[in-house]
Amino acid sequence: MERRRQALLLAFPTALALFVFFLVPMAYILLRTLFTNGTSDFTAFFTDPFYLDILWTTLRVSLLSTGISLLLGYPVAYFMARTRSRMKKVMMVIILFPFLVSAVVRSYGWMVILGTNGLLNQLLLALGLISRPLKILNTEAAVIIGMIHLLIPYMVLSLVGVLQSIDPNVEYAAYSLGATPAQTFAKVVFPLSLPGILSGCVLVFTMSMTSYVTPKLLGGSKFRMMATMVVQEINVNFDWSAASAVSYILLAVILAVQVVIVLLTSGYMKRMGGGKNG
């Protein structure tokens, strides 16, 4: 009982700050929007194909960025969790280094690389692989590339901690019982690493859905996602109610996806022992 009381006292300042500076303003903006225009802004969003297309684009880009980040980050995280060489420290520095550079600088770097006269097109032209420059910048592909570069460190760091907690003797036991490396990964490593996969995917997906700088710089003025629409409604259309509606719809979609993931995986996590540890 005493420990519980101490934990509550330690958590109280943070909980109070979140309530005052996060929940109260959000509730105030929502109530003000509803009192001003009712539910007309929310209804207009779901009845306008233009806004629905933007929502679908945001979901598609976020899901692709999350999936590709998982595919690229999992082997790196597994190597870092199992290796004992000095490369582990070098790779950790490489993964953490992007955090020292702002998203704006990284996006401008990709603009230099992916532009019509950028480094990538110049290299491909010099190698004779293409006859004319590729149109990559100001496309959805450019946004996804920028998203992956921005968010893959979060995926790797989420996976490394979980993979390091898996005892290597469990894999050796599977090998001794005749399991192949593929069977060991599918039936031992992957299920045990599922808590890290879920946390990494939720983190990357959430940050992708709310990203503004990368879509704005790499996607161009014609490429729109939910976050860029919020800024446009405020700065261009001067419609605070519409911006609030888009913001809360974005928040609702993110929460809905997270709830669905938890409901679909809670039973499996409990069977694997990950419900408590995750």
Q: Name the amino acid, one letter, at 107.
A: S
The verdict on residue 128 lying in a domain is yes
Residues 110 and 217 in one domain: yes
**pLDDT digits over 192-238, tens only?**
898 899 999 999 999 999 999 999 999 988 888 999 999 888 888 88
Identify the pLDDT of residue 273.
58
For residues 41 and 108, give the distance between their C-alpha atoms in angstroms, rounded to a whole number.
34
**pLDDT digits over 112-133, tens only?**
999 888 888 899 888 888 888 8
Identify the pLDDT of residue 1.
65
For residues 66 and 123, give the distance between their C-alpha atoms in angstroms, rounded to a whole number.
28
Residues 63 and 13 in one domain: no
Confidence class of residue 32 from pLDDT cuts 50, 70 and 90?
Answer: confident
The verdict on residue 46 lying in a domain is no
What is the sign, positive or negative, of the torsion defined by CA atoms of 40, 46, 51, 55? positive
The verdict on residue 45 lying in a domain is no
The verdict on residue 245 lying in a domain is yes
CATH number at residue 217: 1.10.3720.10
Identify the pLDDT of residue 277.
42
Backbone dihedral region of 38: left (phi > 0), alpha (psi from -120 to 50 degrees) or beta? Answer: left
**What angle in degrees, to the nearest 10, is found between the helix axes of 240-272 and 194-209?**
170
Identify the pLDDT of residue 6.
80
pLDDT > 60? residue 275 = no
The total domain count for the chain is: 2
The mean of the pLDDT values for the chain is 87
The whole domain housing 107 covers 51-277
Confidence class of residue 272 from pLDDT cuts 50, 70 and 90?
Answer: low
**Looking at residue 117, what DSSP letter applies?**
T
pLDDT > 50? residue 137 = yes
Identify the pLDDT of residue 144.
95
Confidence class of residue 140 from pLDDT cuts 50, 70 and 90?
Answer: very high
pLDDT > 90? residue 68 = yes
